[in-house]
Amino acid sequence: MLGTMTKSIRILFIICLWGWASVVSAQVVYVSPITKITMRTGPGVEHKIVAMLVTGTRLEVAEYQKDWSRVQTDDKKEGWVLSRFLTDEKPLTIQVENLRQENEHLVDALEKSREENKVLAQKNAALVDIEKRFHKLEQESAGFLKLDEEYKSLVKLSEEQQQQIEALKENLNNEQILWFLSGAGVFIVGLILGLSTRKKKKRSLL
């Protein structure tokens, strides 16, 4: 009796260990390239159909057997399918779909790059225009600075000439005054001499 229980416990332990190992090392497989397969509640055609799986359906093997395997879909639906309809190679349909999606991503990336290139080209054109305007302004500024310098030189020259004119005017006025004073002095001296001469004549006639 005890030996039978011990043997049963060992068998149960082995089954549990095998089941645990099967769950831990779950394998990803796919439905083979056929139209559809059935997923049933148990390992046999007498069990109820749970779902119809199309080619390329991704499955996770929970328990693998020679004829039937217990699997789980991505949406957590479990059931049994015929093992011969499973393969660990990605079907061509999935590979084609992956390539199509990658191609779409590449096309989108290319279009995005083209749009970015257009924006960069516009910015570059704007920068070129700004650079041209800057050089033009720089040249005009250089011309303005030259004119301003010439203007200041002319103003300074005009001020110097004005000072010279004022000095000449002052000298001219001083000379006129001297000439006037000299002429008045001669006139007065002549007048005095004339009066003196007349007095002498009158005295001599007396």
The order of strands in the sheet holding 27-31 is 49-54, 36-40, 78-82, 68-73, 58-64, 27-31, 86-87
Exposed / middle / buried, residue 71 (Cβ in 10 Å: 0-12, 13-18, 19+): buried
For the chain, list the strands marked E by DSSP: 27-31, 36-40, 49-54, 58-64, 68-73, 78-82, 86-87
| Residue range 56-103, pLDDT digits in tens | 888 999 998 889 999 999 888 999 999 988 887 776 766 677 788 888
Q: Report in angstroms the alpha-carbon separations of 9 from 1, 22, 27, 62.
A: 12, 20, 28, 23
| Residue range 37-59, pLDDT digits in tens | 899 999 999 999 999 998 888 89
Lowest pLDDT segment from 8-17, 51-60, 96-105, 147-156: 8-17
Say if CB 68 and CB 29 are below 8 A apart: no
Q: 133 falls in which pLDDT band (50, 70, 90)?
A: confident
Q: Could you tell me if residue 55 is left (phi over 0), alpha (psi between -120 and 50 degrees) or otherwise beta?
A: beta
> For residue 114, what pLDDT is reported?
86
Taking the C-alpha atoms of residue 122 and residue 117, their distance in angstroms, rounded to an integer, is 9
Kindly report the pTM of this predicted structure. 0.36
Report which of 63, 60, 88, 64 is spatially closest to residue 76, judged by C-alpha positions: 60
The identity of residue 151, as a single letter, is Y
